[in-house]
Amino acid sequence: MRYVKVFFGFILLAIFVSLFILVPKKLKINNITCQSQFGPCNTSILGLIDKTSNGNKSLDEVKKELHGILANSILISDYSFHFQFPNKIEVNLIERKPKYALKAKGTDSYALVDKEGHVIYFQDLTGLPVLITTEPPPNVGETVSNKTFFALEVLYGMFSSYQVREGKIEDESLVIELSQGPKVIFPLEGENEILLGSLRLVLSKLNNDDQDSKIENVSGASIIDLRFKNPVIK
């Protein structure tokens, strides 16, 4: 009796292994859905995924194609997908989100950059703060230089604090003009939080009517230069 049970056990195991190997090769997928952390996936990603859903490909083929597409897309930082019987695959992914915008002087196209410095796509309009440079931005999938990324971070800090929407890289410096205020010059390296804190302190003193202020000759100041150990006001 024990041998009979063992025999049937082997039979069931063989059937299970056969199904595990053969079913993915036989099942045809004709329905692929996609969701991101923002809701339905954006049209660019859906366009890539739609290439795999013609209804004539097996589960195995679709899974391999999806891995290739999703793993190599700069628009996606992470993904997963699972099969739903009988013919559907559900894709879940985390899309890269643009945080900064980069634009070459004299051009109309904006390079959208994520929080890690990757250029994820180009577009003609943006509501993000824009850094204008003299050199073209990197291509999609490439990373901006350390100095450019530092300037983007400082500009974003200025956008958050003072609603500044534009900055320029000029002569190896970041130049930002405050609305109804002075022009601010930042270096392209250092500690961005320290620089922004220094600016807040300077602006506070500029707006202070106290005659004992340690900053002298500040009336009518048009430039705050933060490239030096001590801020220079002109």
pLDDT per residue as tens digits for the range 176-207: 999 877 999 999 999 999 999 999 999 888 87
* pTM as predicted: 0.78
CATH number for the domain whose boundaries are 98-233: 3.40.50
Q: How far apart are the first and last CA of the chain?
A: 99
Report, in angstroms and rounded to the nearest whole number, the Rg of the chain calculated over CA atoms: 28
pLDDT band, residue 53 (cuts 50/70/90):
low
E strands, the chain, are 28-29, 31-36, 39-40, 57-58, 76-84, 88-95, 98-104, 110-114, 119-123, 130-133, 166-170, 173-177, 183-186, 223-225, 232-233
- Of 89, 34, 36, 22, nearest to 62 by C-alpha is 89
- Find residue 169's DSSP bridge partners: 174
CATH class of 26-95: alpha beta
Residue with tokens 């859905």: 33
Q: Where are the domains of the chain?
A: 26-95, 98-233
- Name the more confident of 45 and 217: 45
Least reliable range by pLDDT among 89-93, 112-116, 127-131, 220-224 = 220-224
CB 166 within 8 A of CB 183: no
